């Protein structure tokens, strides 16, 4: 390993250990989505660990995606509270950097890198399921910008977000993938309302968001009007291709490694071997991003295989726990309650297989 990457890994582990031992957080599965602590995110920002691959002119650190992979791996392995910055740092910032105007970049990226801006994702809609092209939220041109009307659902941390990424239909088309546009929207704008959706564990990070006549200035469009489908497909490479697709259940796997008896040793060993292979795929995605590519196919493969891996980790842990009751507040209990979303967020397994099949046909 590159010595600088090894030093970074050591520094991240040390920070997480200090916060844990001080009682400032408890390691949790699915921490990138469920464990929110703005103070922790700003601690990372102060060390230059948010926006670390971006140009310095917009608050970034001009480091590699390999370096960012080291950082995110260690944060996820530690179950650290990273949800406050994860969406903005992982995909919205890179998307703005790739497609946004210089004005938009300078307006938004430094705030993400400083841990000041919290983004939520305005993608999924009621009745649309996993079909992102079925977006009905409407964007209508008005003087100076756009009027947004519609609803988004399963919007994590919308109640805490300063900004929203929004995919909306800017023109009617018989081809449902056409006529979509991406926007950056202020969550404090008039006409935005947020309603909580409480999950099975009584936890609140999901929300429904309603937009009624919300004004978005013209310069808050990301990329080209009507090009949203191509852009969001590229953006999903950032969402699907990261280590959170294989490490959301790592705290459960760590407990398995500590308690697995001879009866489960072979199964746990297979899980560890699969994780090593998936980590290698994460490296391939990071290297493709460093080369300026949008690795849509590799990211879809990682997400598909990662979903199966994380499901099998939980099934193994269930067997290891015996026939006893699993406490909802335990590490395994929290992971089981989060698991129904694993196969949906970032694209269902059926959608991912479709992407892989289409990419293969084009070759």
Q: Return the SS3 of 141.
A: strand
Q: Is this prediction's pTM over 0.85?
A: yes
Can you give the pLDDT at residue 362? 46
CB atoms within 10 A of CB 36: 19
Collect the ranges in the chain with pLDDT lower than 70.
1, 3, 129-130, 201, 323-325, 340-348, 351, 355, 359-363
The answer to whether 306 and 275 have CB atoms below 8 angstroms apart is no
pLDDT of 70-88, one tens digit each? 999 999 999 999 999 999 9
Can you give the pLDDT at residue 258? 83
User: Beta strand 204-217 with 192-198: parallel, antiparallel or unpaired?
Assistant: antiparallel
Q: Angle formed by the axes of helices 296-320 and 250-259, to 10°?
A: 40
Residue with tokens 């460093």: 290
Can you give the pLDDT at residue 351? 67
The answer to whether 254 and 184 have CB atoms below 8 angstroms apart is no
Can you tell me the distance from the alpha carbon of 279 to that of 281, in angstroms, rounded to the nearest whole number?
5
Can you give the pLDDT at residue 130? 65
Can you give the pLDDT at residue 347? 63
């Amino acid at each position: 390993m590159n010595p600088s990457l090894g030093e970074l890994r050591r520094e991240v582990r040390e920070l997480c250990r200090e916060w844990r031992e001080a009682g400032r957080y408890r390691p949790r599965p699915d921490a990138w989505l469920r464990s929110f602590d703005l103070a922790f995110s700003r601690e990372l920002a102060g060390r230059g660990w948010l926006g670390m691959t971006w140009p310095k002119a917009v608050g970034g650190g001009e480091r590699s995606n390999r370096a960012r992979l080291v950082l995110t791996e260690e944060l996820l392995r530690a179950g650290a509270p990273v949800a406050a910055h994860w969406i903005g740092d992982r995909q919205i910032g890179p998307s703005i950097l790739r497609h946004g105007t210089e004005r938009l970049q300078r307006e938004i990226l430094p705030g993400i890198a400083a841990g000041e801006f919290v983004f939520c994702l305005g993608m999924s809609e009621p009745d649309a399921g996993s079909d992102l092209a079925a977006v009905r939220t409407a964007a209508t041109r008005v003087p100076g910008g756009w009027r947004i009307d519609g609803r988004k659902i399963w919007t994590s941390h919308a109640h805490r977000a300063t900004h929203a990424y929004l995919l909306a239909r800017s023109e009617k088309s018989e081809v449902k993938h056409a006529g979509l546009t991406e926007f950056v929207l202020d969550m404090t704008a008039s006409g935005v309302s947020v309603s909580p959706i409480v999950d099975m564990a009584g936890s609140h990070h999901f929300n429904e968001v309603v937009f009624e006549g919300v004004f978005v200035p013209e310069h808050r469009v990301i990329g080209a009007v009507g090009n949203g489908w191509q852009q969001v497909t590229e953006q999903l490479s950032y969402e699907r291709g990261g280590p959170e697709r294989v490490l959301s259940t790592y705290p459960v796997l760590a407990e398995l490694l500590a308690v697995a008896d001879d009866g489960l040793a072979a199964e746990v060993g297979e899980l560890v071997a699969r994780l090593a292979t998936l980590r290698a795929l994460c490296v391939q995605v990071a290297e493709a991003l460093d080369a300026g590519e949008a690795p849509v196919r590799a990211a879809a493969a990682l997400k598909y295989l990662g979903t199966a891996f994380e499901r099998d980790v939980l099934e193994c842990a269930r067997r290891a726990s015996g026939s006893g009751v699993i406490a909802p507040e335990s590490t395994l209990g929290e992971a089981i309650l989060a698991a129904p979303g694993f196969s949906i967020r970032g694209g269902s397994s059926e959608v991912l297989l479709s992407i892989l099949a289409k990419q293969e046909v084009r070759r």
